Chain A
Amino acid sequence: MTVHNSSLHRFAVFTVLATLGLVGMGGLVTSHGVGMAVPDWPTSYGYNMFALPISTWLTGGIFHEHTHRLWASEVGILTIVLNCWLFGKKSRRVLIALGIVLLLSGIAGINRPNGLQSSLHIGIHGVIVLIATFFWPRCEPASRQLRVLGGWATVVVLLQGLLGGLRVVLDSQLVADVRLGTVFGIVHGCLAQGFLVLLAVISLMTSRWWQFSGRAGSPLPADGAHGVTRSTSLRRWFLFTTLLIFVQLLIAATMRHQHAGLAIADFPLAYGEIWPDMSAEAVASYNLRRVEVTTSNPITAFQIGLQMTHRIVAFLILLAVWLCAWKARTIQSIKTLAFVWLGLIFIQVGLGAWTIWSNKAADVATAHVVVGALSLVTGALGCLISFKRKTVSASASVVDFSETKMADRVSV
């Protein structure tokens, strides 16, 4: 019997929302160009990250960068808690070990120079973890699939933290004339959205809707022969379009981390043309005429080409999502999601244009990042649902729905 844990599902959704907020905060850091406003890591201006004086924290770009760090720490903790919850009562032993290690590390660090504050933080966290193990988690472990996903989420969130730190610490190092800060920034930005997708998948798979789909009375019905036939091609389109959005994300992250402002300052034309002149003379002339306030790097022909590619891929995504929505219009289980997806893409195109018309205003550019992340998540969930439909359609089993209702109980 499948046991649905609604508290776990709600917590997973909360973690997704916190991560979406974190993506937005990271977007603000890049949009404002303040990734190096706190030049050290894991400390902040020499302080323990959690003990930076508020007066310093609230200063200019430090606010965005430091808030991003703190928020990321919280998302890290939420992810570890989610992972433990997925492993259920089995994870208690690991948690006890973790609590003891943290407590001992805190005690061991007290005598280090300037180590009192950090040691107190670590030690207190150890005590909290140990106390928590007395009453949590009590539930049975989730399915193997979910535990594997939870494990990956923990690995990715730790890797993300490390990448964010290396982006600061190794910012000025060059490899093949490319700044490592730029490379780590791009990877950090893309992995963040991959992590968001991973958490969204966990949320979907912990939902009652997902766990009882395909059973009698479930909200994921078979759609008949016509629907199944159509959904075979729909699955492919969902997958293709989601991959296209991921490619778009790579292009966008590369554009944003050049820190050169807008490579093309007009839209829908580009320097007054359908395709801009990208010769060396033309680029020199564009640079001479640009008046940027918060960016200083000159633009290059590569960056202009990148923005033109971004525009073309955006158009292709719009067409592809439109097609997905059209194909999904009669498939009950996925049509709402497909039309929400289409709506998001329309908003995203509008935000892209507004980003240019506003000369890349930080809040508009960041909204463009957040809606882009939501579009990727929606596509990924659509893929998952459409592929699940295949399994469901093939082996729809009849289960008394009263059983599922009984199983739908709160368990922590």
Chain B
Amino acid sequence: MKLNQTLAALAGFAVALQLASAGNLTGKVTLGGNAPAEKEITPLKDDATCGKLLGGAVPKTKFFVVGANKELADVIVIVKGLEGKSTGAAAAPAALDQKACEYIPQILAVQTGQKISVKNSDPVMHNVHTVPTAAGNKEENKGQGPGAPDLTFSIPAAENFLKFKCDVHPWMFAWVTAVDHPYFAVTGKDGAFTIKDVPPGKYKVVALHRKGAPTGVEKEIEVKADGATADFVIEVK
């Protein structure tokens, strides 16, 4: 009993020590070159039910969400070499909504084993169809009527851009990346990202964009107690 308490205290001390010396990895992702023009989602506008849910403007595809100074959103930045440290089972569920016949957000990153709660905010039937490609992840296809309870999904194996789609409304897609540890982030509209409490050490960091860099752009960094920075440029040629 006494030995167990000692071991627990030591483990706690080690974690505290690691956190104390861990640093934040920050950076910015920008777009190089010019992105192709986005298209209006005309099938959404033309759909008898979904068309009525639009506020007026016809939504466009969101392959490249680019800011005024070429800041690139929806890029997933992952620290490599920390695999096997997923805390997904204990993490709060990630949320995916179906609103006005679009997935919100369309790009999401979660930990392996983390719950993903899929909501239907529309007064219309959707089906949530996951199409994984990595071994260990199972394809599912569940109908979700208006007002139905949220559906829960979980991705056991790491995979980039696992497709969530609605076959009832074939323009609806979301892309969920499952990472085997908590050291990742998704860039916001300003292209910036912050990955908190990265253990000190040298790493490779990869920036993934579903269209612009599906296999990723890599950089080597060293994280110290005062953190590290890494900026990326996703080139469109």
Contact = CB atoms under 8 A, between A and B. Distances in A.
B165 interface: yes
Nearest to B235: A288
Interface size band for A: 20 to 34
Interface in B98-121: none
Given A56-B125, A60-B124, A291 B61 contact: yes
Nearest to A36: B167
Closest CB pairs A-B (n = 10): A172-B139, A60-B168, A39-B141, A36-B167, A37-B167, A33-B170, A294-B170, A37-B168, A60-B169, A61-B168
A293 B143 contact: no
Contacts of A397: none
A289 interface: yes
Interface string B63-104: 100000000000000000000000000000000000000000
A62 interface: yes
B163 interface: yes
B236 interface: yes
Interface in B195-237: 211-212, 214, 236-237
A37 B129 CA distance: 9
Interface in A156-189: 171-172
B173 interface: yes
B170 A61 contact: yes
Contacts of B39: 291, 293
12 contacts: A33-B167, A39-B127, A39-B167, A61-B169, A61-B170, A172-B131, A285-B237, A288-B211, A293-B41, A293-B171, A295-B170, A296-B163
Contact of A289 (B36, B48, B139, B171): B36
Given A56-B125, A285-B237, A291-B61, A45 B50 contact: no
A288 B234 CA distance: 11
Contacts of A279: none
B212 A293 contact: no
Given A60-B124, A293-B42, A288 B212 contact: yes
A39 B36 contact: no
A59 interface: yes
Contacts of B136: none
B141 A36 contact: yes
A68 interface: no
Interface in A188-241: none
Contacts of B143: 39, 45
Interface of A: 32-37, 39, 45, 56, 58-62, 171-172, 285, 287-296, 298
Contacts of B47: 60
B152 interface: no
B170 to A, nearest CB: 4
B166 to A, nearest CB: 8
A158 B132 CA distance: 32
Contacts of B37: 291
Interface size band for B: 35 or more
A59 B125 contact: yes
Contacts of A32: 170
Given A32-B170, A37-B168, A58-B48, A288 B124 contact: no
Interface in B33-52: 36-39, 41-43, 47-50
B167 A293 contact: no
A39 B165 CA distance: 13
Contacts of A172: 131, 139, 141
A294 B211 contact: no
Contacts of A171: 139, 141
B168 A62 contact: yes
Nearest to B173: A296
Contacts of B38: 291
Interface in B122-167: 124-125, 127, 129, 131, 139, 141-143, 145, 163, 165, 167
A354 B127 CA distance: 32
B42 A62 contact: no
B75 to A, nearest CB: 14
Contacts of A58: 48
Nearest to A362: B43
A260 to B, nearest CB: 13
A60 B49 contact: yes
A45 B127 CA distance: 10
Nearest to A35: B167
B127 A37 contact: yes
B142 A39 contact: yes
Contacts of A56: 125, 145
A171 B129 CA distance: 11
Nearest to B63: A291
B169 A36 contact: no
A61 B167 contact: yes
Contacts of B36: 288-291
Given A62-B168, A172-B139, 4 more contacts: A37-B127, A58-B48, A288-B212, A291-B37
